[in-house]
Structure 1
Amino acid sequence: MATTCSIACCKEESDSDKAVIVRFSNGNVQKAEKLDFIMYKSTDEVNPRKKNRRMMVAETERISYVGQNFGTSSLKCNSLCKYYVGVLNKHTMQMELHNAQLFNMLPFVPGETAATANPKDTDLTYKEKVDSLIEAFGTNKQKRALTSRRMNQVGSEILHHAVAKAANSVIDGKGLEALQQEVAETELQAELALYLPPCNKDAAVPENVYPFDELLSPADLKALEQAGSKMAAFTSEDLQNMKDSGGSLSVVKHLETLPSDGEARDKMACCAFYLSLLIKLSRQKSVSRKFGIEEGCPRIVQTNLFRTFTVETFNNGKVQNMVSASMRAKLAAYCLALLLHMGHMTADLTLLHRDLAISEARVIEVAKSMGLTLAKPPRAKDTEAGLHDKHKQTSLVLPLVKYQQFMERRKRKKMH
């Protein structure tokens, strides 16, 4: 029957009880019993960084080996791992575990000391040392590559200094605050250009600043004639039912004031129907392929709406049209531009933010980004029923208003 052994835990070990594992860097030792091992420890036992320094020396008849647990030649695994050595007592059949430390034994050549080494070599990086080896022992191909790389490095440094000099001259000429303001305005214009309708800032009349054909193309306007005629035939009761059922208040407002002229009336009705589609689209996240079909939306108009105001995503192998946050801002801008054409370059921001189900501050932000003029609502006195509803109006006046971006940070409230 095979005998079993048990593990015995040792108490706190001294330096003499700790095991040492050595590894020779230049090969395997054939006769380890002929090696004389001596361990040296640091004499500075007060300094916590030096009191644990050890040096292992192995001497043979031909060469000596030196290993240490500090410096560049030490093994990094001593700080990352903890090693143990088991010693089996054959009489008691108990195995004792001792802490172990690894030493990498390197051959020691007499006469090659740190004092004779080149002091410049300690300041060189690994890449610079490799370049020195290539210069001395590299092939012609490696030397040509090294020369080309150094030439490119010199060229990049010259370019960097030239760019830095030009940047400093620009900063000295314009000033740091002016440059920061220009960068902020450029970033703001780039961000707004993603969702604002096409704008002609040099237009002579307000109607041409945001061209109507860019909002609703002639082909789409002609396709909406049938749906617009049905909406123009709404009675006062139909409009009241539309209000009660949560319909668009902006659409109802313009349907109540349709012009009597036949051509202008038809155009206004088509615009009202298209505005209702935009408002309905802004309230949805995922848009189905049947969007607007029940209301009489032509297929060509639906395709253009999907292409302009939705983002295509893949879900379970199917293509879905999603209305992202940036697309909602784009819808708000197009709705506002369309309302300007429908209301003689004046629009009601309060009704629009209620229809789009977004905050009033967001609608005002869109109006400012379009360069519109904001009109403060008139002060109303208290009545018996309560306060009068104050609607914020906006209008397009030339030249466009250029609002300054608020760059300061809000002060934090003090905690009492």
Structure 2
Amino acid sequence: MTTTMASSCSLVCCREENDSDKAVIVQFSNGSVKNADKLDFTMYKNTDERNPRKKNRRILVAESDRLSYVGSNFGVGSLKCNNLCKYYVGVLNKQTMQMEVHSAQLFNMQPVVPGETTEPAKPQDTTQTYRDKVDSLIEAFGTNKQKRALSSRRLNQVGSDTLHQAVAKAANAVIGQKGLEALQQEVAETESQAELALHLPPCNTDADRPEDVYLFDNLLSPVEYGALEQAGSKMAELTSEELQKMKDDGGCLCVVKLLENMPSAAEARDKTSRGAFYLSLLLKMTRQKGITRKFGQEEGCPRIVQSKLLRTFTVETFNNGRVHNMVSSSMRAKLAAYSLALLLHMGHMSADLTLLHRDLGITEARMIEVAKSMGLTLNKLPRGKADKAEPQDEHRQASLVLPLVKYDQFMERRKRRKMH
């Protein structure tokens, strides 16, 4: 039968389908329907068509003489397979023997039993809390054991209030001694450190080798690394004149330095060229507030790497009916941490913080804060002989040395805006 069908019919390419053209496949949670012709199906769609998260929401209702069924493609009762797979349905025209293939979505139909839905609760008297009402019932109708427990809890509440008063008095004394502004500054620095720690690369503090602390595979997976073969080879083929032009045009100095000092070994050279291309994309992202879906296409960025960048280093915002990918201040700190970890792997576990913070467009203090949160060892190196024209310019260098350094987060305080 399959052979006959394949030899006697042909597939027809359909036009571009809208959401209304999609076929619907339903399954009933409580069994199978014998007489589908007796069911009356109705499809409802969300009225907010400008919202990209709501415009595809659909509710399907099937009504029969005995029972009604409801299914939706969103919410708790929806099928998650719609987000993971694409389904297609072939419709055969028996007269022309041509088959049209349409995209489809699945609905799980659940019965709606009359009487199970509860009416909305009437507004309660808000003068008393739920706990106060329960305590009143215990006082009036409770057992002796419940009344003793209520009395004990109220005594504990009095003790708790006394403790809160003592803590408030002690806090006022500390504020009077240290000053409100100093305390607000400490709180701001603590929150900044906690926020920064959330955006660091995965760290293995028990590693025996510096290379295993921030694994290269966590920065760039093997699949993503393999996809950068063509882009990395183009970076490795850049001539000295082209690299000098990158410098003159204000290009990323970290990337230029890596390409100027390419290792001779084939494997190390390949790793440096691919890493330099990926680093150039990270540095480019920090200079932009909004990232479009065309980011990196001119440079030849593979789609899998582009998806990783959007997923890892941007936040989604909703504006004018569309979803935008934005690079927030916290994402810039995350980009700085990942760029620094990538430079460590390509620079024998050391990196020039001065060049990096200039390429990232952040302050040197912020760059040092990121390096300290990663447990790196910091030192200053004078410029080489080639830069004797600027002897006062000293470059800060970060190195990954085991064991990692634990810095005091209040060691170097810097001025912040007052908290209100």
Asked whether the equivalents of residues 286 and 335 of structure 2 are also in contact (C-alpha less than 8 Å), the reply is yes
Q: Deviations over 1:369-398 (max 9, x none)?
A: 1110001224999x9845353211110001
Are 1:244 and 2:242 matched, yes or no? no
* Structure ranking higher on relative contact order (CA contacts 8 Å, 6+ apart): 2
Match of 1:143 in 2: 140
Match of 1:214 in 2: 218
1:390 & 1:384 partners in 2: Cα distance?
11
Asked whether the equivalents of residues 382 and 393 of structure 2 are also in contact (C-alpha less than 8 Å), the reply is no
Q: Deviations over 1:248-284 (max 9, x none)?
A: 1000000011111222211110000000000001111
Match of 1:80 in 2: none
Which of 332, 336, 343 is residue 336 of structure 2 equivalent to? 332
Are 1:261 and 2:259 matched, yes or no? no
Match of 2:47 in 1: none
1:260 & 1:410 partners in 2: Cα distance?
44
Match of 1:367 in 2: 371
Structural mapping, 1:84-163, within 5 Å: 143-144=140-141, 151-152=149-150, 154-155=152-153, 157-158=155-156, 161=159
3-state DSSP of counterpart to 2:324:
strand
Q: Deviations over 1:292-348 (max 9, x none)?
A: 011000011010111100000111001100000000000000000000000000000
Give the share of equivalent positions with the same residue, in percent.
66
Match of 1:193 in 2: 197
1:219 & 1:384 partners in 2: Cα distance?
44
2:338 & 2:157 partners in 1: Cα distance?
46
Which of 349, 356, 361 is residue 357 of structure 1 equivalent to? 361
Unmatched segments (≥5 aa) in structure 1: 1-125, 169-175, 412-416
Quickly say closer, same or farther: Cα 1:184–1:292, change in 2 above 3 A. Answer: closer
Asked whether the equivalents of residues 258 and 276 of structure 2 are also in contact (C-alpha less than 8 Å), the reply is yes
Match of 2:311 in 1: 307
Amino acid corresponding to residue 309 of structure 1 in structure 2: F
Match of 1:295 in 2: 299
3-state DSSP of counterpart to 2:395:
coil
Question: How far did 1:246 drift?
Answer: 1.3
1:243 & 1:184 partners in 2: Cα distance?
38
2:384 & 2:273 partners in 1: Cα distance?
33
Match of 1:114 in 2: none
2:374 & 2:315 partners in 1: Cα distance?
23
1:248 & 1:321 partners in 2: Cα distance?
23
3-state DSSP of counterpart to 1:376:
strand
Report the TM-score when normalising by structure 1: 0.56
Asked whether the equivalents of residues 380 and 394 of structure 2 are also in contact (C-alpha less than 8 Å), the reply is no
Amino acid corresponding to residue 387 of structure 1 in structure 2: P
Amino acid corresponding to residue 193 of structure 1 in structure 2: A
3-state DSSP of counterpart to 1:314:
strand
Unmatched segments (≥5 aa) in structure 2: 1-126, 167-173, 175-182, 416-420
1:398 & 1:384 partners in 2: Cα distance?
33
1:160 & 1:331 partners in 2: Cα distance?
51
1:214 & 1:229 partners in 2: Cα distance?
22
1:407 & 1:273 partners in 2: Cα distance?
36
Amino acid corresponding to residue 261 of structure 1 in structure 2: A
Q: Deviations over 1:53-105 (max 9, x none)?
A: xxxxxxxxxxxxxxxxxxxxxxxxxxxxxxxxxxxxxxxxxxxxxxxxxxxxx
Which of 280, 283, 286 is residue 287 of structure 2 equivalent to? 283
Computing the radius of gyration from Cα coordinates, the structure with the larger value is 1
